[in-house]
Amino acid sequence: MKGIEEIKCRVPVLIGLSILAVLVGVRQTYGQVDVTTVDISNLPIRDPYILADEGSATYYLYKAAGVSDGTGKHVSGVVAYKSNDLTSWKGPITVFSMPSDNWIQGAIWAPEVHHYQGRYYLFATLNSDIEWKKQRPDWPKYTFRATQIFHSDSPEGPFMPFSDKLPQTPMDRMALDGTLWVENGTPYMIYCHEWVQIRDGSVVLQRLSPDLAKPVGPPLTLFHASSAPWSTGDPHDGAEPSYVTDGCFLYRTKTGKLLMIWSSFKSGSYAIGIAESATGRVVGPWTQHSEPLFEKDGGHGMLFTTFDEMLMLTFHSPNSPSGKERAVIYEVEDTGDSLVVIDKGTGLDDF
């Protein structure tokens, strides 16, 4: 894998914004989708998630997108891109299209795919236009927003809902960015409780049934965004500041510490912070590291290990939803006590 070997040679590498955009003209047909090989620096994406699939020795990058439902109708869905080197990606491959009878319809955010007990599970944030509470002045609308889990035998789908076609987060809670964590054989979803509903966003733990189909027991709030010393919040005219929680992802270090990366704002710039469980267990209590892992207008990160055993961090940058967002990939060092970004990369020198 040439791309990974280049990283190992210690040439300062940032796969993403630092690479000259190259579109390779290799095209093929995948069903009704025109598949192209594209450099990652030329692939617009928010909330990137990379699955290093051991079974196929392939990297999969998942992205929310509009897709065809097979009847010519355009619906919300998820596509995947495949790579062997983390630089050139082949896609899009449609892995999920919204069922017409799913309870929540609308835009999809932050898809991520986990391999669990021999199957693949898509965690997706679903949005509805239905309002369930009167809007505050100068505030986003209160709509149904939840994380729902879908299942498949393949990382390329098709991903299907469980029989009730309902989310695994509470219906009366604006919930997003659910991720999977398994501890002592018990599966959990960790998700963000949206600042739109509670002003000071939080990170929440929800136990799941062994097959991931249903929530088990009540949710537990792990921490609020304002607990981080670096999280300065967003000002609002005539209202208290709001604090975002976004993109939670858990990681256990080589010394057994349980860390969580998550995103919020620091002085107007999107940043990625680190929380740490005092007990080493997912129930916490959780404390915050004083300084962010990354603070130069990028966020919603996740960690993965390459097939050459390198720990990597990917996230989108810049954060503004303007079509300029790209997935960037950094090598990260596990120090045992924390995480440290090794390579700054060209164009992002000042963090």
DSSP string of 253-287? -TTS-EEEEEEEEETTEEEEEEEEESSSSTT--EE
In this structure, the chain runs to a length of 351
Per-residue pLDDT of 289-341, as tens digits, reads 999 999 999 999 999 999 999 999 999 999 987 789 999 999 999 999 999 99
CATH number (domain holding residue 191): 2.115.10.20
Per-residue pLDDT of 184-212, as tens digits, reads 999 999 999 999 999 999 999 999 999 99
- Note whether 313 and 325 are within 8 A (CB): no
Per-residue pLDDT of 37-78, as tens digits, reads 999 999 999 999 999 999 999 999 999 999 987 777 889 999
- Note whether 304 and 333 are within 8 A (CB): no
Does position 348 have pLDDT exceeding 60, yes or no?
Answer: no
Residue 172 domain-assigned (yes or no): yes
Of 41, 114, 51, nearest to 83 (Cα)?
A: 51
Q: Is 6 helix (H, G, I), strand (E, B) or coil?
A: helix
Any idea what DSSP says for residue 10?
T
Residue 333 domain-assigned (yes or no): yes
Residue 311 domain-assigned (yes or no): yes
181, burial (CB in 10 Å: exposed 0-12, middle 13-18, buried 19+): buried
pTM of the model: 0.88
Helix (H) or strand (E) holding 45: none
Residue 8 domain-assigned (yes or no): yes
Residue 348 domain-assigned (yes or no): no
CA distances from 175 to 1, 76, 95, 121 (A): 38, 18, 23, 18
Backbone angles phi and psi of 105, in degrees to 5: -115, 155
d(CA 146, CA 170): 7
d(CA 334, CA 326): 24
Per-residue pLDDT of 149-165, as tens digits, reads 999 999 999 999 999 99
Residue 346 domain-assigned (yes or no): no
Q: Domain limits at 11?
A: 2-341
Q: For residue 74, what pLDDT is reported?
A: 86
d(CA 75, CA 66): 6
Q: For residue 134, what pLDDT is reported?
A: 84
Residue 347 domain-assigned (yes or no): no
CA distances from 326 to 146, 253, 351 (A): 25, 27, 18
Query: Looking at the DSSP assignment, which residues form a beta bridge with residue 147?
Result: 125
| Count: domains in the chain | 1
Residue 350 domain-assigned (yes or no): no
Q: For residue 14, what pLDDT is reported?
A: 36
d(CA 109, CA 98): 13
